């Protein structure tokens, strides 16, 4: 593992090359186009969108700290931190509607 790998701001694990996904802190559909973005693991990014609607993301969960504090995401992050950085899995449960 090289020290140049970016770190996922949600789970604090290194993001292997090609395993990152850009998350708009304010969803593009809610005026976030061109706004702040963070690089997340694909699995962390999928969990964010499986947990929260675009409206919830825009209104209440538009910072890394707010995302980390959400009860379902907090539980997921505690689980995924024990996995290797390149770990991928299907996100359990049904995706939330857009």
pLDDT surpasses 80 at 51:
yes
Task: Name the pLDDT band for 78 (thresholds 50, 70, 90).
Answer: very high
> Where do the structural domains in the chain lie, given as residue ranges?
20-80
Q: List, in sequence order, the alpha helices (H) in the chain.
A: 42-51, 54-59, 64-69, 71-80
pLDDT surpasses 80 at 92:
no
pLDDT surpasses 60 at 93:
no
Task: Name the pLDDT band for 19 (thresholds 50, 70, 90).
Answer: confident
* Sole residue written with tokens 């850009």: 22
């Amino acid at each position: 593992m090289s020290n140049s790998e970016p770190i996922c701001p949600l789970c604090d694990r290194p993001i292997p090359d090609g395993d990152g996904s850009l998350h708009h802190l304010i969803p593009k559909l809610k005026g976030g186009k061109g706004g702040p973005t963070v690089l997340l693991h694909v699995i962390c990014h999928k969990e964010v969108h499986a947990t929260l609607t675009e409206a919830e993301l825009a209104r209440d969960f538009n910072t890394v700290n707010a995302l980390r504090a959400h009860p379902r995401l907090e539980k997921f992050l505690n689980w995924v931190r024990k996995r290797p950085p390149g770990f991928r899995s299907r996100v359990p449960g049904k995706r939330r509607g857009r």
